[in-house]
Structure 1
Amino acid sequence: MYDRILVATDGSDNAHRAAGHALDLARQYGAELHAVYVIETRTGYDNAIVDPETVRQNLREDGEEALTAVETEGKPDVTVVSSVREGVPHEEVLSYSENQGIDLVVMGAKGKSAFKTILLGSTTEALLWADQVPVLVVNSAGK
């Protein structure tokens, strides 16, 4: 049923729980797991206060750390393909999903983005509204 599963992570606790679900599903179905971290590009920075390149590098390091955690948890029985991307998170996840033939996206109900909505994180909500790929949303309790 699932050959390629994608977990979208931002390094948050909810994303960590979602990664656990994605790894369990990958093991159950013998699926390849894709882990994606997106550096948000819609956030503006005042160059006089914060160097945008420093922020981007720090976010890239955060992303690599989050992806390494998924890869480590998957060893040795789950093949994990990881990618750090830059852009609007839901657009990048949808683009990646289409290009890689993803069968299911797994993600936390809310992440740590500054753009939040009341019930779901904005990225999760946007993916659900796009209706282009099945999405499994893991709540804060991880159930």
Structure 2
Amino acid sequence: MYSDVLLATDGSECARAATTHAIDLAATYGATLHALYVMETRTGYDSDIVDPATIEDELRAEGEAVLEGVSDESRARDVALVDRIRKGVPEREIADYVEAEDVDIVVLGSRGESAFKTVLLGSTSEALVRDLSVPVVLVSDGDGETESTA
């Protein structure tokens, strides 16, 4: 049913719960797990105080750490993993990845790292549910509840 499962992750609590769910799906169907971390560009730093290259380096290091955790979990479950870090607007980068890699289903946390950014910029999960033609599974933190859309 699924040969390519995409986990879109930002390291948040919900994303960690989504990681477990995505690995379960990939293990169940013998699918390849794709883990994608997008370095957000809409919250750029236009200040002489903050060096944009330093911020990008920090975001990349954070993404590498998040993906290393996904790698550890997927290896423990014997799930094939492809991981990537991209830079841009998360919903656009995720949608482009889905199309380019012919992904069958997307799994992500229902809420991301920053509630403040969600208020200002709109919800990545909401945009993906609305715009993608593949199923999107939203996973909440703590209670294990999931929401699924087609």
Gapped regions of structure 1 (runs ≥ 5): none
Which residue of the partner structure matches residue 79 of structure 2? 78
Deviations 1:9-44 (A, max 9, x none): 001111010000000011100000000000011112
Q: RMSD of aligned C-alpha atoms?
A: 1.2
Q: SS in structure 2 opposite 1:116?
A: helix
Which residue of the partner structure matches residue 130 of structure 1? 131
For normalisation by structure 2, the TM-score amounts to: 0.89
Runs of 4 or more, structure 1, over 4 Å off, are none
Q: Could you tell me whether the CA contact under 8 Å between 2:95 and 2:132 is conserved in 1?
A: no
Per the TM alignment, residue 132 of structure 1 is displaced from its structure 2 partner at its CA by: 2.2
Within the alignment, does 1:55 sit opposite 2:24 as a pair? no
Which residue of the partner structure matches residue 116 of structure 1? 118
Distance (whole Å) between structure 1 residues aligned to residue 54 and residue 97 of structure 2 = 26
Q: Could you tell me whether the CA contact under 8 Å between 1:94 and 1:132 is conserved in 2?
A: no
Gapped regions of structure 2 (runs ≥ 5): 146-150
For normalisation by structure 1, the TM-score amounts to: 0.93
Deviations 1:58-79 (A, max 9, x none): 0000001101100110115101
- What is the identity percentage for the equivalent residue pairs of Structure 1 and Structure 2? 49
Per the TM alignment, residue 142 of structure 1 is displaced from its structure 2 partner at its CA by: 2.4
Which residue of the partner structure matches residue 22 of structure 1? 22
